[in-house]
Chains A and B, each alone.
Chain A
Amino acid sequence: MSDVFPKWTNRLPMLLLVGLVMAGTAVVAGVWYYFTPKYTRVGYQPIQPVAFSHALHVGQLGMDCRYCHSAVEESWYSNVPSASSCMNCHNQVLKDSPKLDLVRQSAATGEPIPWVQVHKVPDYVYFNHAVHVRRGISCVECHGPIHQMDEVYHAQPLSMAFCLDCHRDPASRIRPVDKVTDLEWTWNSDPAIAADLQRVNGEKFVHDWNVQSLQNCSACHR
C-alpha cells in the first residue's frame, strides 16, 4: 500500500494538540485580562471643560463632598453642582481668572457646563446613592481617592462582580455614617488592628442598621 501522507506528518497530531492548548490558553488569558471592566473602564479619564481639581478643593482646602454634591444623602442621584454653587466662593476668589470663564458664563446664562460623565452604570442597573451613603458606605469605595485627583478618573471597575463583592459581605466595607465623606478615614493607623475593628464593628453596624445588601436580581435590575 502506498503512503498517502509522508512520514513527518506523524508528528502533526502532537504539534496540533500543543498548538491548540497554547492558543486556547492565550485566548482565555486575553479575554480574562482585556475583556472585563477592570481593563475596559478603570483608568478612564476624560478632559473636563473646566479644569476643576478635587485634589485642591477637597484634599487641600478640606471641603466636604456634600457641599457641592448636595443631594447625595436624599436622592438616588448624586448631583453635579450648578455653576451658582461655584460662584458662592468664586465671586470673591479668582473672580477674574480666565480658567473660570465658562463657570461665570454658565452662572450668568443658566446654560450648564458640559461636564463629561465618568462614572456611569448601565440603564438596566438601578443604583441609589442615598441608601448607600446613609448606611455607612463611603464615596471612596466606588469612586476611589477622589480627594487626590486633579482630573477625575475611573478608579474602580464598577462591574457586577464589584457590586456583589460588597453586597455579599457588607461588613467588610461599612463605616460610621459621619465618616462617609472622610475619604482618608480608617479605624486605626495599624492595618491589622483596623481590619479587626472593621470586622467587629462592621458586623455590628450591619445588624443594628438592618443593612440588607440585597442580592436578588430585581434589587438592581428592576
Chain B
Amino acid sequence: MSEHVIHPVAPPAELQRLPLVTNNRSFGWISDRVAAIVEGKTPWWWWVAFVPSALAAGWLLVMLAYQISTGVGVWGNSHPVMWGWDIINFVWWIGIGHAGTLISAILFLLRQRWRTAVNRAAEAMTIFAVMCAGIYPALHVGRVWFDWWLFPIPTSNAIWPQFRSPLMWDVFAVSTYFTVSLMFWYVGLIPDLAVMRDRARTRIRQFLYGLFSLGWTGSNRHWSNYEKAYLILAGLSTPLVLSVHSIVSLDFAVSQLPGWHTTIFPPYFVAGAIFSGFGMVLTLLIPLRKLCGLEDVITMRHIDVMCKVTLATGSIVGYAYGMEVFIAWYSGSPYERYAFINRAMGPFAWGYWTMIICNVVVPQLFWFKRIRHHLLIVWILSILVNVGMWFERFVIIVISLHRDFLPSNWGYYLPTWVDITTFLGTFGLFFTLFLLFLRFLPMIAISEVKGVIPQADPHHPLGDGSKGGAH
C-alpha cells in the first residue's frame, strides 16, 4: 500500500484573495513611497488645494468672530426652527468621523487586514471632522464664554449641568470620542514617526520626529508594549463607534417632537454615520492614491471593500427610512403621520427626495462590480453619499421643526449667508488640517502595511526563510 500523500491544491483563481499590496512591492519600496510624500518637494496639487483651504479657514475665523461679537441672530435659526445649519453641520461632521474609528478599532479587532492601508488617513479624517463638528455646539450656545458651564465643575453658582439631558451626554460623548481617537491615532503613529526620524536629513526634522516618536527603537519590548496599548485603545474605541452617534441621536429622540421621537434613531444614526464616513474616506482617498502614487497600497480591492461597506450601511439607512414611514402609519398618531407626509410632500419635499435619491438609490449601485471598479463613478457616488447624509440631517431637523402640533406655530426656514459661509469655512479648516497631515506625517501606516504583505510571512515562498520557521 503506497503512502498516502496529500497534495495541496491551490484554490481556483477567482476564489483566491488578492494581495493587499499589488505588484509584489518590497518593504523598502513601501517605506520610500510613503515617506516620499513627506520628504519630497511640495507637489503642485498640494498648493492648489492648500491655498483656498487656508483662505476658507481664515474666513471661518472671521465668521466665528462675527457670530460671537453679534450673537446667534446672524444665523437663520428662528422660531419655529430653532436648530438650523449649526446642528445639521454638527451632526454631519461628527458622523463623518465614524468611519475612521470603525476602521481603526472594530476592523482591527475583527482582524480585517485591509484596514492597514487606509486607517491612518481615516483616523486623521476623524479627528479633523470632530474638530469641525465641535465648533458648532460651542458657538450655538450663544455666549461662548460660558461654555465651561457644560462641564460639571463645582462653582459658586452651586448648581450642576442637567445630567438627565442628552445634550449633557453629548458633551461627554464627543469629548471622550475626540480624546480616544487622538490617542489611538498618535499611538499608531509612533513607530512611523521613528521611521521618519531615522530617515530625517535635517536637524529640525530629526528633533521634531524624534520628540514625538518618544524614543522608539523598535526593540521587541517596545513592540510588545505597543501592541498591547494598541489593542487596549481599540477596545476602548469600539464602544465609542456605537455610543457617540447613539447619544447624538438621543438629542432628538428624547424630545417629543413628531419626526424626532423615535426609538429607531440610535442604530439608524450609527449606520448613517458609518455610511457617511466611508463616503468621505472614498472621496479623499481615490484622488490621493493617484496623486501620491499609492495605487499599489490602496488597491482596487480596498476601494471595492469600502464600496461594499457603504452599500451595507446605506441599505440599513434605507431600511430605517422605510421603517420610520411604516411606524408613522402604524402608530395611528395623526401628528406622526402628518410629519412624514409633510416630509415627502410639504414645502421642503425637495430636501426629502434629495435625501432618498442620494442615500437609498445611489448606494444600491454598488451591487455592480463594474461600478465598484470604475474610480470616477465611485468618487462621484461617494460625494453624493455625503450630500445625501447632509440632507438627512436637514430633513430631520428643519422639516420636523418647521411644522409641529399647532398650525399657528408653523414657519419656514432659510439659512443666512453667515450660515453658508461658516459651513464652507469648516471645509477650509478640515482640508487645511488634512493637507498639513499629508505633508508632515506618513499618511499610510508603514509598519502595519509591511506586516500584511506576503514577504512578512516566513512560510510564504516570498518570505525570508533563512530567518527561521521555513520548511
Contact = CB atoms under 8 A, between A and B. Distances in A.
Interface of A: 1, 4-5, 10, 36-38, 157, 159-162, 164-165
A160 B207 contact: no
Nearest to A5: B210
A43 to B, nearest CB: 16
B408 interface: no
Interface of B: 155-159, 197-198, 206-207, 210-211, 215, 217
B314 to A, nearest CB: 44
B198 A160 contact: no
22 contacts: A1-B198, A4-B197, A4-B206, A4-B207, A4-B210, A5-B210, A5-B211, A5-B215, A36-B155, A36-B156, A37-B156, A38-B156, A159-B158, A160-B157, A160-B158, A160-B159, A161-B155, A161-B156, A161-B157, A164-B158, A164-B159, A165-B158
The 10 A-B residue pairs with the shortest CB-CB distance in the complex, in nearest-first order: A161-B158, A4-B210, A159-B156, A160-B157, A36-B156, A164-B158, A161-B156, A4-B206, A37-B156, A160-B158
B212 to A, nearest CB: 11
A184 B221 CA distance: 73
A66 to B, nearest CB: 31
A116 to B, nearest CB: 24
Contacts of B157: 159-161
Contacts of A4: 197, 206-207, 210
Nearest to A13: B214
A37 B156 CA distance: 8
Contacts of B207: 4
B153 to A, nearest CB: 10
B301 to A, nearest CB: 36
B210 A160 contact: no
B156 A157 contact: yes
A129 to B, nearest CB: 22
A109 to B, nearest CB: 42
A29 B250 CA distance: 37
Nearest to A10: B215
B156 A160 contact: yes
B385 to A, nearest CB: 43
Nearest to A157: B156
A5 B217 CA distance: 13
A165 B206 CA distance: 58
A160 B149 CA distance: 14
A30 to B, nearest CB: 15
Contacts of B159: 160, 164
Residue with the highest number of chain B CB atoms closer than 10 Å, among A4, A161, A162, A165: A4
A218 B198 CA distance: 63
A164 B156 CA distance: 10
Contacts of B158: 159-161, 164-165
Given A36-B156, A157-B156, A164-B159, 11 more contacts: A4-B197, A5-B210, A5-B215, A36-B155, A38-B156, A159-B157, A159-B158, A160-B159, A161-B156, A161-B157, A161-B158
Nearest to B208: A4
A37 B197 CA distance: 52
Nearest to B217: A1
A161 B156 CA distance: 5
A170 B109 CA distance: 57
A4 B210 CA distance: 7
A10 B214 CA distance: 10
